[in-house]
Structure formats: structure tokens, C-alpha cells
Amino acid sequence: AFFCWAGVAMAKKLKIPCILEVNEVSGIKRQRPQKLVKLCGDIERNIFKQASAIVVVSEFLKRKVLERGVPGNKVFVVPNAVNESDFDVNIDREEIRARWGWDDKIVIGFVGMFSHWDRLDVLLETFSRVLQKFHHARLCVVGEGLERAKLLGQAKNLGIEQAVIFTGEVTRDQVVGYI
């Protein structure tokens, strides 16, 4: 949001409302390292103050925006979504199941960037308990991110690495098949 100063300045000049979408805030651990965090935070607070409304994608981000002094009635959560028409295709899920040896398996999945806020460590821990009861279960983790090495190590330490597939990044059109 700290790069959106021009939008709020222009809205003020034109005397029109400014609805700001916030996907991250300064100072939180994220995929890419941040520079000039204090300066960005100061600019961000000013932008938040001037925006007519702020839309965030999660309760986590709403809390972070509220912590910066924004009134609660100005912040709205609109979770990420998908275009349902993307799922109106005939996907050959059997090809993916055969590729990974999932013919008779129950598959639990995650698709995204491996960020600490996704709490994939909890998913792996929970899956290890599921696997004790349902030996035919598999966990498919699609994507990449900073947490990958830690998650691979955790799967090994839990003794579940044979039941967890880390696919790496896949193309956008392949994501639907995995889901």
C-alpha cells in the first residue's frame, strides 16, 4: 500500500472517493524482503488515513491495518476468490492421479505460496495424525515459497515424506487439475 500515495493524492485533488486494496502492509515478514520499513510505514499510515475505504483479503490484514490506527468501519474483508468459469472445463484428473500414484488414494491439497502465515507447518502436523489412521491418504502441496526447505525438513522429521508431494510451481492452467 505504501506505493499508492499517488492514488490518494489524485482522489483528494479531484474530490472523489478512494478505495484502497491492501494485500500486504509494511514491516511484516513476507516473500520478498522490504527496505526502508519505517519510511514505508509512515507513508502507509498517511495513505490509510486519506483513503475513503480499505479492502483487504483476510482478517489477518484487517488486524494489521487496524493496528495502524484506521477506524474499523473503514476496513472491509473481501477474501480471494476464483472465476468459476475456469472450472467449467473437462479436466483429466486421472492423468494427474496416475502421475503421482494416487489411483486409490484420498488426496488432501494446498495451492499457493509457502508463506509463514499460511501455517503449512500445522497442515503437515495434522496430516501426520491423519496418516496414522488413513494410510492411503496423501498430501499434495502445490507451489513454492520461503518456507519450502523448512516444510521438507518437517515432513522428513515427521516420517511422512513418502506421503507428501511437493509439486513445485505449476502453470495457472494446471492448478485447476490439481484442485
Mean of pLDDT values over 150-170: 94
**pLDDT given at position 143:** 92
Mean of pLDDT values over 133-153: 92
Q: What is the pTM of this model?
A: 0.61
Written as nine digits, the cell of 85 is 468459469
Is residue 22 within 8 Å of residue 44, measured between CB atoms? no
**pLDDT interval class at 141 (50, 70, 90):** very high
CA dihedral (125, 120, 171, 83) in degrees, to 10, reads 110
What are the pLDDT digits (tens) for 27-76?
676 656 666 777 777 778 888 888 899 999 889 889 989 998 899 999 99
d(CA 130, CA 124): 10
CA dihedral (124, 129, 132, 134) in degrees, to 10, reads -80
Mean of pLDDT values over 158-179: 89
**pLDDT interval class at 120 (50, 70, 90):** very high
Phi, psi of 108 (to 5 degrees): -105, 140
pLDDT at 93 over 70: yes
Written as nine digits, the cell of 94 is 486421472
Which residues, at least 6 apart from 171, have a Cβ–Cβ distance to it below 8 Å? Answer: none
d(CA 51, CA 35): 24
Mean of pLDDT values over 6-21: 88
**pLDDT interval class at 2 (50, 70, 90):** low
What residues form DSSP beta bridges with 106? 137
Task: Give the H/E segment covering residue 141.
Answer: strand 137-142
**pLDDT given at position 30:** 60
